[in-house]
Structure 1
Amino acid sequence: MQVGVFAKTFPGSEPTGVLAAVRDAGFAVTQFNLACAGLPSMPDAVPDAAIDTIGAAAKATGVGLVALSGTYNMAHPDSRIRQDGLRRLAVVIETAARLSIPLVTLCTGTRNAEDQWVHHPDNADPSAWADMAREMEKALQLAERHGVDLGIEPEQANIVTSAEDAMQLIGEMGSQRLRIVLDPANLFERANAEQARSIVAEAVERVAGHVSLAHAKDRFADGRFATAGQGVVDFPDFIARLKATGFDGPLVTHGLSAREAPGVARFLKELV
């Protein structure tokens, strides 16, 4: 299991500098974001020169690019906005393929028109799931064409809220390209340590064999997000359970400051 971090944890828009910061903080791999190359996270196009620069930076620093962020609101109430998001996702997927990045991470979306990470009561309406599923079908066609996997993450604010939802969507899509990104802190909102451990354990068992990437973020009991190791998530138990399922992929932390990054790298590396 390789320990990594979101590239956006570190400031800068020049890939070599950002990836050097990733390496110097003690991480072997990263989930990259095109903003770290001076582009929008979901751009209209990625110039050949940017592809070359990112690839050269990864080679020079020795940092593995294990995922590329490709999030847009797949359940936005305006179909025109969903269409534009899908168009940009196609650019991200092609970029991932050109850089040999195996996974593009997605957002299954929300009916909240202002923020794709904020819950909306209409998320529970069957039409929200239907719109998201139609987007996912189109995204998977792009992924199949380019030989890239797509990662969905159970997230309380989004349409796919749980491990059960994620497995339902995988079953509906019927594609080996649809994988799971599992973040223990996104599986609940408020819980004590015992409750969190139980929720996370059940989720790991439910999605066994379908996880391509694990995230390492934490929560306090009152629901606020926390740096890994500071909240109620039992990371030794989470990692042990992942290993027991045969998972040997990247464990990528986020939701932390650049200053905190070296300490979190040490914490996670001791566990894996």
Structure 2
Amino acid sequence: MKLGILAHSFGQLPVHELAKQVNTHGFSYIQLALAKAIHGIDTRLGALSPGLGHHIGEAFDREGVRIAVLGCYFNPLHPDENVRRYGIDRFKEHLRFARDFGTRIVATETGSLDADYLFHPDNRNETSYQSVRTVLEELAEEAERWGTFVGIEVAATHVIHSPERMERLLADVPSSNIGIVLDPVNLLDAANIAGQDDVIEDAFRRLGSRIVLVHAKDAQRTAGGEVSHVAAGQGELNYALLGEKLRACKPHVDVVLESILPEETAAAADYVRRMLGGNR
């Protein structure tokens, strides 16, 4: 089973050195957040071009590594309007040039009214939902123009906090250029982790056909009952169920390791391959 990783798991490095690191650790593809992963190249808004995309894409290709997705995470509800607008415009620029990097997917989350992405009680209200809907409509229009995909990740502390709410958003923004980045751990919190099987089943029932990427990490309950994120194989996520659902619903979907240190990659990769591999 081929497996990917967040490129910045190895730190911020010159592109050729980063590509070698990914290859050396045995990964076939990456999620690439340009500003987090690549040292020495300006990737701010306005800097991207077909030539830059080809330069970076070819560096990874020479090492046998594919860019599966560009990560361009920003907060669509950031309280500072200028910060929010910059994030939207930068994401749209990534959508325009994604294919030059060798991918068609640009990923983000749905954000929080808290500037630091922490939970805010008003994330759950209708006004916040409609604000995210408006941003997604703008991003989807750009994706449709360039034949790329907006990859949306659901997270329990964010505005789109459940499979049910994501299903509603997909219905309200009926674009074929929106896909789901499924991270089962991000769906879990102290209130539902004991019933995680039902959460996973619900996610696949509502969103399975729209999944374009899967994140692989693990969930571990703290002494206080909260959920912390750890490397795959170190927690209690039901990977057997996840593997069963993926084999039935999305064979060969790209799976990217996250929440991981370089020294943890071998054990985590082995665990995920064993648990998700099956007949994929």
- TM above 0.5: yes
For the Cα contact (< 8 Å) 1:19–1:61, is it kept in 2?
yes
Q: Match of 2:180? A: 180
Q: Match of 1:221? A: 221
Q: Secondary structure in 2 aligned to 1:224?
A: strand
Give, in whole Å, the separation in 2 of the partners of 1:45 and 1:158. Answer: 30
Establish whether residue 125 from structure 1 lines up as the match of residue 129 from structure 2.
no
Deviation at residue 47 of structure 1 after TM alignment: 5.2
Q: Assess, with a 3 A threshold, how the Cα gap between structure 1 residues 99 and 177 changes in structure 2: closer, same or farther.
A: same
Deviations 1:38-86 (A, max 9, x none): 3577644225653233122121011111100111111223433322211
Q: Match of 2:246? A: 242
Deviations 1:185-240 (A, max 9, x none): 11111268752233222222221211000110111123111111111101122111
What is the root-mean-square deviation of aligned Cα atoms in Å?
Answer: 2.0
Q: TM-score, normalised by structure 2?
A: 0.89
Which amino acid counterpart does residue 56 of structure 2 have in structure 1?
Answer: I
Q: Secondary structure in 2 aligned to 1:134?
A: helix
* 1:265 alignment partner, one of 264, 269, 273: 269
Give, in whole Å, the separation in 2 of the partners of 1:90 and 1:193. Answer: 35
Q: Assess, with a 3 A threshold, how the Cα gap between structure 1 residues 17 and 89 changes in structure 2: closer, same or farther.
A: same
Number of residue equivalences: 270
Q: Secondary structure in 1 aligned to 2:82?
A: helix
Which one is further off, 34-43 or 68-77? Answer: 34-43
Give, in whole Å, the separation in 2 of the partners of 1:100 and 1:64. Answer: 7
Which structure would you say has the larger RCO, counting Cα contacts within 8 Å and 6 or more residues apart?
1
Q: Assess, with a 3 A threshold, how the Cα gap between structure 1 residues 81 and 21 changes in structure 2: closer, same or farther.
A: same
Establish whether residue 94 from structure 1 lines up as the match of residue 120 from structure 2.
no
Q: Match of 1:70? A: 72
For the Cα contact (< 8 Å) 1:154–1:161, is it kept in 2?
yes
Q: TM-score, normalised by structure 1?
A: 0.92
For the Cα contact (< 8 Å) 2:70–2:106, is it kept in 1?
yes
Q: Match of 1:210? A: 210
Give, in whole Å, the separation in 2 of the partners of 1:199 and 1:226. Answer: 19
Establish whether residue 52 from structure 1 lines up as the match of residue 54 from structure 2.
yes
Q: Match of 1:8? A: 8
For the Cα contact (< 8 Å) 2:57–2:100, is it kept in 1?
no
Q: Secondary structure in 2 aligned to 1:219?
A: strand
Structure 2 spans left out of the alignment, 5+ residues: none
Which one is further off, 151-160 or 194-203? Answer: 194-203
For the Cα contact (< 8 Å) 1:191–1:221, is it kept in 2?
no
